[in-house]
Amino acid sequence: MTDTAAMPIAIVGVGKIARDQHIPAIAADDRFTLAATVSRSGGVEGVENFETVEDLLAARPDIPALSLCMPPLPRFAAATAALAAGRHVMLEKPPGATVAEVFKLDRLARARGVTLHATWHSRCADGVAAARAWLRDRQITRLRIDWREDVRKWHPGQDWIWQAGGLGVFDPGINALSIMTEILPHPLHLSGAELHFPENRETPIAADLRFAGPGGIDASAGFDWREEDGEVWEITVDTDGGELRLVDGGARLLIDGTEQPVEGPGEYPALYHRFAELIETAQSDVDPAPLVHVADAFMLGRRIVVEPFHD
């Protein structure tokens, strides 16, 4: 920031992701200070809390930036109110419940002359930038994504993810898609999908995706929320110059089986560093590409009904 004083910022939605990632990242960044929260279920000790975004915007004109950490369905209204009030906005992923929402928020931010940062935290994993650089001049022949975890561990009792608009298994799967769209030198498009819906839920518990791209690339992804033996967050890319693997959600990079040295500040500290840069330079960063793949999967996907899921 150009000013030596820390910029006041508010968090909207004080749930698990805010407490685990956003609040510590803000506390460690001397360019921001947590000045307020919006939460109906309890805020942060020692920080002023409001019931609604509108209450915050009316009472605290001194807070120029908001970080929205609530689920995607209510996020659009909160972002619209904040942008219309001339505040800078950072969006937890996904940036909207629909692609149209993202485009509308982007237009509103530009019209109001404020920053909109639509974040993809997995793009900031330590191995991602190095993977992108290594792939830049190589011919890719095959890409495979395996993204499996236990929904009961990572989303216990979160009914919103099973409701229409909650994305289901694409809530973690979109992290893999955000990395894929970041590291590949040429974009892919979705060519087919199979979506596995529990008979008692509105969103899928598993998905198998196929992609098409230049040179007849063999590209596919498998997402599954029924993995009980630990997390599998891996992307494997075969090229004319060897095999690249990103594991642990992009935190580790292997080339032909050999671990590569990577470093970084961590995903969420990197996001707030980027947010500060965007505000300082009067820019926005809005890339809907991962969400487009998800939307295409729901459009093209063959629906397969599987056994009921009970949390």
Catalytic residues: 93
Mode of pairing for the β-strands spanning 116-118 and 218-224: unpaired
Selection from 56, 104, 115, 110 nearest residue 80 by Cα:
104
Rg over CA atoms, the chain: 20
Output the CA angle 178-261-251, nearest 5 degrees. 30
On the question of a cis peptide bond just before residue 94, with omega within 30 degrees of 0, the verdict is yes
The CA–CA distances, whole Å, from 240 to 103, 119, 184 equal 37, 32, 14
3-state secondary structure of 64: coil
Continuous H helices in 204-310: 267-280, 289-300
